Structure formats: C-alpha cells, structure tokens
Structure 1
Amino acid sequence: MPAIDKQKIVESVPQKGFFGHPKGLFTLFFTEFWERFSYYGMKAILVFYMYYEVTRGGLGFPEGTALAIVSIYGSLVYMSGIIGGWLADRLLGTSRAVFYGGILIMFGHLVLAVPGNVALFFVSMVLIVLGTGLLKPNVSSVVGEIYSEQDTRRDSGFSIFYMGINLGGFLSPLIVGTVGMKNFHLGFGLAAIGMFLGLVLFVSTKKKNLGLAGTVVANPMSPAEKKKVFTIMGIGIVVAAILVAIAIPAGLLTFSTFIKLIGVLGLLIPTIYFIVMYRSPKTTAVERSRLVAYIPLFIAAIMFWAIQEQGSTILANYADKRTQLDFMGLNISPAWFQSLNPLFIIIFAPIFAWLWMRLGNRQPTIPKKFSLGLLFAGLSFLVILLPAYFGGGALVNPLWLVLSYFIVVVGELCLSPVGLSATTKLAPAAFTAQTMSLWFLSNAAAQAINAQIVKFYTPETEMLYFGVIGGAAIVLSLLLYVLSPKIQSYMKGIK
C-alpha cells in the first residue's frame, strides 16, 4: 500500500474520541471483545466437553487425545489466518474479511450448541477455524491502519486493544464456563450470542468511526490473476479430497499421522512465507532488512506461546485433576482458571501502556521486550513444578496456579501487544495483512509443537515436563537479550 494511501486512511479516521485515541479504536475494541468472548468461552469448556464421559454430557474422548485435539484445533485456528490475510490483501479488504469471519464463527458455535455427535463437533471446528482465520489477523491490521507510522500512541493503542481482547476473555469463562460445565450445549449457545453482538456493533459503527480503514485492498489481483488463482485452488481442493478419501480407508491418515502433519506444517508454512515475502519484487531493500529482524522475534514468540497456550490444555487438566477445588468455602469450577490470564491483563495492561508512554524513547527496544516476555514465561513453568516437589502427589493449593498464570501474564504484556505493534511496523507494504497473519502463525507453530509434546505429560513426569520447557525458555531469553542490539540494527529506524 503506497504511503500516500496510508496517510489518506489515517486522515479519514476521527483521531480523538476513545481515551485520547482514534475513534475507530472503540469499534475495533468491542468487536474483538465479543469475538474473544465467544472464542474463550467455548475454549474454557472445550477440553472438558471432549474428555468427560457421555453420561456427563461429554464426548468421552481419552484425556490425551482431547489435549492433543485442543492443541491441533488452536494451531489450525491461527494457521487459517494465512487464508484470511491473503484474502484481505488480494480480494476482500480487511473490513469485509472481519465481517465474513464473524458470520462463520457464529455458525460454528451454533453447531456446537446443538446436541449431536462427533461428526457435528468436527463440522463446528472447521467453521470456527475458517472464521477466526478471516477475523483475527484482519481486525488487528485495521488497528494498525488508524495510526500513522510515527504516531507515539501506537504501542499504547495496541495495549488498550489488547485489554479489550482480554476483557472478553475474562468474562466468558466465568459466564460460559459456569453455564457450560452444567450443560455444555447451553454454554456454546452463549458463545454464539456473543459473536452475534460483535457483528452488530461492527456493522453499525464502522462507517462513522473507521473511515477508509479496512476498505483498501492492499495488493489487488487482476482479472487474469483471479482466474488463475481460483482454478489452482479448485484443483487443489479436489486433489486433497481424493487423497483424503484414499488415505483414511487405507490407514495412512490416522489421528497420529494428522498430528505429525500439522506439526510439520506449523513450521513449514511460516518458513515459506518469510521466503516468499523476502524474495518478492514488491518488497524493498529496507523491508527485507526488517524481515530479517523479524525472524528471531518470531522464534521467540513460538517459544512463548508454547508455554502460554498450555494454560487451556495442560494447566486446565491440572486444575481439573491435581488442584484442590474446594478452597476457602468455595467450590471452584476448573473452567474459572481460564479467566485468570485475561483478568491479570485487564489489571496490568493499562499500567504497561502508561509505562511505555512514560518512558518514550527510553523504553526497552522491541527485542529486549521480547526477551523479558520469554524470561517470565519460563519462570511461570518453574513455579508450577514447586508444589509437586514439596507435596508429592497431594492435591495442589489453587494459589500455585494463580501465581503461574500471573507470571506468564507479565511476560505476555512485554511480548504480545508489542509483537502486534512491531508487526504492523515491520510489515512490507504489499503484505500488510499477510504479515499480521504471519504473526499469528507463531501461535499456530507453538500449538502444533504442543500437540506433539502434551502426550509426555503425566502426574509422574510433571516436574521434568515443566522444568525442561521452562528452562529452555529462560535460556532462549538470555540469548535474545544478548543479540538484541544486532537485531535492532536490522530494523532500519523502527523502534
């Protein structure tokens, strides 16, 4: 997208109106709030729905299978952002991609709300995967469009936006989790209602608040390109369907091989993306240098999300099986622990937003913020192994889980909103939305890796499990800190 177009978009957006930020931040804040309400509400009860017995309203999957499926599902949700980013950059524009994504997500949750069988469950997963791929990266890209590149409010704005994400994430496990642990399908129905409210708000306020933001197709296809691309896509879908139809009866495509395939794709797809963008004639020399700087940040993000995302798999199972749920006169639902991460972000995101604004040019560089994020992520896993060391196999005081979630949130606030902001700064102009999709691929890669490793977690191996992963994160954190001046030099003026 040419610089003049970016400036015209910024000028079309009312620049004051939401806590000193552009008015469009209101629309994007609450659209993402309701989308995250639906997503995290569903996810808070998903693993329990999968491994609880049929007599308790669940699907009766083995626990290990349920944990792996949730990781694979999470990986595919973020991997599908490739499709969403490409469609936004080449065909739809980010605003329409957000709208169509919300429609698919809503229908996905409605399918889950209907009592059915395993087949319906997987249909709903496909709808939510595709819908989130359209909505998630593109709504964040629109946030980047409402600020000029040199606007000092940018990091602060992303932190506020991130607080909106987590406000939805905080309320949904308490509401959807409480209802859903009594009746899973009613809980999924509440998630569908949340996405519907988000769509209504987006459609009713976007014209007034967002101006031209989200309406420009960054790298539109010519009619000849459209014909070629759609032909290739059609052939690809037919070939894939034939291969699946042959592989499943032949025993070549099993759940185990599918997990391994997603693990390979989780690392292969972002690698291909980096190569394509770097070699594109539409990428300038300065943009190539910035892409090189982005690679170690991307690797660090994979390590961070590999730990953070286990809050809804390993730590959810830990809450259900290893934690004292009758505590201080309360009967705690295991789904409620999913509210801890967003609760701490709601409390501390404004503090971090204020801190970056207060420090101005004296704040840590982007690579150093990432190294801090990794450090705290590693510490969060080292903390959770302590009760096993001191208490053996006894049920664990829930405050240990609270502490672990708190520590990883400190790391998340150093890395995640900063990563969103850095992505919009470092993205090549012709690949704006797709680079945001690439950022979310760090989460896809992390969860693809998690699907391979969750099988090693048992109550007997939990100390080794938490210790090895936490220790690896701390080592990578120190390495990134040492290399941060060199990485910063490749950013070519981006701070």
Structure 2
Amino acid sequence: MEGPVQRKHPTALYILITAAAGERFSYYGMRALLILYMVASVPGNISGMGFTESSSGLIYGFFTSACYLFPFFGGLLADRKLGDRKSLSIGAVIILIGLLVLASSNMIMPFFAGLSLIAAGNGFFKPTIVTMIGKLYEQGDQRRDSAYTLYYQLFNGSVFLAPIVCGGIAIEWGYRAGFAAAALAVGISMLIYWILAPGILKDVGKFPSAILRNSNASLPRNPLNKEERDRILVIFILMFTVIFFWSGYEQAGSSMSLYTEKYINRSILGITIPTTWFQSVNPLLVFILGFPITSVLGWLSMRRKGLSTPVKMGIGMILLGVGFLFMVGAVAQRGGDIADTRIKAGMGWLLVAYLFSTLGELMLSPIGFSMVSKLAPSHMVGMFMGVWFGSMAIANLLGGIIASVVPSLGASYIFGFVAVFVTIIGIITLFISKNLLFLMHGRD
C-alpha cells in the first residue's frame, strides 16, 4: 500500500529561495539601471558612462549573455570538484565584490571589471541553487514542478522591489548608489543563508555529485543508455527553441526600456513614473499570477488532463509573441517610427505587453528548470543546468544585437519581427510535442 502523498514543501526550499531572492534583487536592481547608466551623459546630475544607444545595447547583450554562459562552467565545477553549496557561496561573494566595484566609479576600468565579476559570480551561483532544489525531491515526486514555480514566484517578490528601490536611490543619489544598494541586498540574504543553511540543508549539495556517484557501488558506471541519450536530446531541442523566447523577453531591459524612456506617456495624475519602475511590472505579475497558474496546471494534472512540458513551452512562446504585437500597437499609435519625443504612446500598450510576456514566462521558465532536473542523468544535473543557462546566454547575446539595431531599423520592424518569429517557433514546438514526450520516456 502506498503512503500518503506529500503536499508540503521542505523548509530547505525556503532557505534556498531566501538566498536566491537577495541575489535576484541585486541582479535586477542593477539591470534596471544598467542601460540607462550607460547612455546617461558623464557630467549629468546622475552621471553615467556617456555611451551611444547602439553601443549600450551591444554591451548589455554581451554582459547578460556572459551571466548565462558562465553557469555551464560553474555547473561543471560544482558537479566534479566544489559541490553545490560551496559553489553558491563563492558565486555570491564574487557578485558582491563586482557590484561594489561597479559602484565605485564611472571610469571605464571599474565599469567593465565590475560587470565581469558579476558575470563570473553568476556562473557559480545560478546552476547550483536550481540544482539543489531538484535534489530536495525524489525522482517522480509530483511536488517538483510546483517547487520550481514557487521558487520562481517568491523570489520575484524581491525582483519586483529591486527596480523601485534601486531606481529610487539612483534618482536621488545617482546610479552608482543604486548599484551599492544592490550589493547590500545580496550580502544580507547570504548572511541569513550562511547562518541557517548548515542545520536545515544538512548534506544537500555539500559534496560534488561525481564524488557521491563514484563512492556508491550501487550506481551504474556504464556509458549513457538509450533512454538517457533520448532525454538529453530533448533538453537540447527545447534549449534551442527557448533561445528565441529569451532573446525577445530580454528586450524588456534594453530596447523596451529605452522606448519607454522616450516614447511612452509615463504620467499619471501629473506624476511621471520613472522608467526603471516599469521593470517591476513583470515580477509583480509573476507574483500575482504564479499561484493561479500553478493551481490550474495542478488541477489539470490531477484529472489526467495536464499539459506536457513541450506543450507548455510552445504556449509560452506564442504568448510572448502576442505581447510584442501590443508593442507594435504602441508604435502605430505614435504614427510609426518618428523621432519626435513629444508624441507619446499610451502606457496601456506597454503594460499589456508585459502581461503576455509574463504569462509566457510562467509557462516556460520554471518548467524548464524542472524539466532539466528530471531528464538529465543524476550525476550530470549541475552541468546540464549550465547547458540550459547556455541557451539564455545565446539568447541574451542575440537580444543585445537586436536592441543595437533598433535605432537604425526602427522599433516597429524589430517588435513586429520578434512577434512573428517567436510565434512561429512556438507553433513548431506544439507540432513536435508528442515526439518530444515520447523521447522523455515517462519523465514529464
């Protein structure tokens, strides 16, 4: 007779979410300021770097790409040498130092050194925290998908606050003060983690997965079997498709942010909303919509009508495409790609675009983490989390290139192209979803 199905999540999950919340606050607080900091004039009231919009878009793309590329190498080190917990701590310290360097001066050397350190720190931090969440649950535990969605939803509470807090500080005391506030957040969250984690996490993530596998004689040491190879193939196929989702989604921090600054009417009752605050719309919607979406998907799953992982991801990409159609609407309301900043589009276009991109994100991002933790061979989960983040690295680089050509090609062309292309990729993903589900061999 089977025992009762567990519904409550372990306390360790919330400790990991606390660490992630501080790191995500620091990243998204910094990200909300970054493109504006780069284009701000050097002698201005809140002085910046004085770069062109095109150069800033490329730098933004290369930086965010590196933040998602380095986790591949960090995941390898965690699996083979460091263990997840040590890797997480190393990453947090490097991120903290990087933010402080970035906050120290608006000279070229501290600027690029700070961004490089933040990217390197993400390489250690990102793959390990999501890997440890997967290790809290046995293979086949139905709570795993909801754990990743809960993780995603709760840390987005801090992501919501980050642009408001760091943006407000930047307006009052300058961009570099906003970067310093981001550093303080990651320091506080990690202090809590270091105090509580040893007693609550116990051995989770303490030792490298490769060492644990080698010390356990019961585990097979044979080459990957056909089922494992098929599952890895699914990871790579879905990784390829989500590149196009994230390249569009990341326009929120670059081209959409610059478009909002210039061409969106940000006034309500005579009060002008800072551009950085619009970066809080997405995490607020994640926090509000996460529970209802999780409940609906769980309800469908309990009645054997659940959506498979490939189907959820295909729907997510289509929803993002719909969101960009509303950005095309914003451009059309202004009469097209005209340079006159006095002609503004309504704020509603932007807010509805964020709504659809958030719905797409909730269907795709947390499910992706769960999918990797289920499909990757147990001793290679950290590495494949890094591989999954690698798709985001390519996407961010592509997204930066897209943002850099907006001034020359026009926002209507770029927003329209993203809308159509991402929707087509989503439809293709739905079309091949049954084939992908077959290759997953029951691990959905």
TM-score by length of 1: 0.82
Partner in structure 1 of residue 427 of structure 2: 478
Partner in structure 2 of residue 447 of structure 1: 396
| C-alpha contact (below 8 Å) 2:333/2:345 kept by paired residues | no
Q: Match for 1:139 among 98, 104, 129?
A: 129
Q: Match for 2:330 among 365, 387, 403?
A: 387
Residues 459 and 338 (structure 1), Cα distance of their counterparts in 2 relative to 1, 3 Å cut: farther
| C-alpha contact (below 8 Å) 2:56/2:404 kept by paired residues | no
Give the letter aligned to residue 333 of structure 1. P
Partner in structure 1 of residue 171 of structure 2: 181
Task: Tell me, in whole angstroms, the C-alpha distance in 1 between the residues paired with 2:415 and 2:101.
Answer: 36
Partner in structure 1 of residue 217 of structure 2: none
2:224 aligns to what SS in structure 1?
coil
Partner in structure 2 of residue 128 of structure 1: 118
Task: Tell me, in whole angstroms, the C-alpha distance in 2 between the residues paired with 1:325 and 1:103.
Answer: 37
The CA deviation at 1:65 is 0.5
The CA deviation at 1:281 is 6.1
Q: How many residues align?
A: 422
TM-score by length of 2: 0.92
Q: Match for 1:366 among 290, 303, 309?
A: 309
**What CA RMSD, in Å, does the superposition of the two structures yield over aligned residues?**
1.8
Partner in structure 1 of residue 373 of structure 2: 424
Partner in structure 2 of residue 257 of structure 1: none
Matched, 1:21 2:15: no
| C-alpha contact (below 8 Å) 1:156/1:356 kept by paired residues | no
Task: Tell me, in whole angstroms, the C-alpha distance in 2 between the residues paired with 1:413 and 1:82.
Answer: 23
The CA deviation at 1:376 is 0.5
Task: Tell me, in whole angstroms, the C-alpha distance in 2 between the residues paired with 1:71 and 1:207.
Answer: 37
Task: Tell me, in whole angstroms, the C-alpha distance in 2 between the residues paired with 1:39 and 1:451.
Answer: 17
Partner in structure 2 of residue 3 of structure 1: none
Matched, 1:287 2:228: yes
The CA deviation at 1:40 is 0.5
Matched, 1:401 2:350: yes
Task: Tell me, in whole angstroms, the C-alpha distance in 2 between the residues paired with 1:54 and 1:116.
Answer: 8
2:163 aligns to what SS in structure 1?
helix
The CA deviation at 1:464 is 1.5
1:19-60 Cα offsets, whole Å, 9 max, x none, are 820110110111100000011001110111111001121010
| C-alpha contact (below 8 Å) 2:105/2:111 kept by paired residues | no
1:220-272 Cα offsets, whole Å, 9 max, x none, are 49xxxxxxxxxxxxxxxxxxxxxxxxxxxxxxxxxxxxxxxxxxxxxxxxxxx
The CA deviation at 1:112 is 1.6
Partner in structure 1 of residue 92 of structure 2: 102
Give the letter aligned to residue 411 of structure 2. E
Give the letter aligned to residue 100 of structure 2. L
Question: Where in structure 2 are the equivalents of 1:17-416 lying within 5 Å?
Answer: 20-56=8-44, 57-182=47-172, 183-220=174-211, 282-360=223-301, 361-392=304-335, 393=338, 394-416=343-365
| C-alpha contact (below 8 Å) 1:302/1:446 kept by paired residues | yes
Give the letter aligned to residue 280 of structure 2. S
2:432 aligns to what SS in structure 1?
helix
Residues 170 and 345 (structure 1), Cα distance of their counterparts in 2 relative to 1, 3 Å cut: same
Residues 94 and 398 (structure 1), Cα distance of their counterparts in 2 relative to 1, 3 Å cut: same
The CA deviation at 1:484 is 0.6
| C-alpha contact (below 8 Å) 2:131/2:385 kept by paired residues | yes
| C-alpha contact (below 8 Å) 1:45/1:181 kept by paired residues | no
| C-alpha contact (below 8 Å) 2:57/2:401 kept by paired residues | no
Segments of 4+ moved more than 3 angstroms: none
Task: Tell me, in whole angstroms, the C-alpha distance in 2 between the residues paired with 1:62 and 1:165.
Answer: 33
| C-alpha contact (below 8 Å) 1:153/1:357 kept by paired residues | no
| C-alpha contact (below 8 Å) 1:155/1:356 kept by paired residues | no
Task: Tell me, in whole angstroms, the C-alpha distance in 2 between the residues paired with 1:434 and 1:281.
Answer: 19
The CA deviation at 1:329 is 2.4
The CA deviation at 1:458 is 2.6
Give the letter aligned to residue 299 of structure 1. F
Task: Tell me, in whole angstroms, the C-alpha distance in 1 between the residues paired with 2:430 and 2:98.
Answer: 42
Give the letter aligned to residue 344 of structure 1. L
Q: Which runs of 5+ in 2 are unaligned?
A: 213-220
| C-alpha contact (below 8 Å) 1:282/1:430 kept by paired residues | no
1:457 aligns to what SS in structure 2?
helix
Q: Which runs of 5+ in 1 are unaligned?
A: 1-14, 222-279
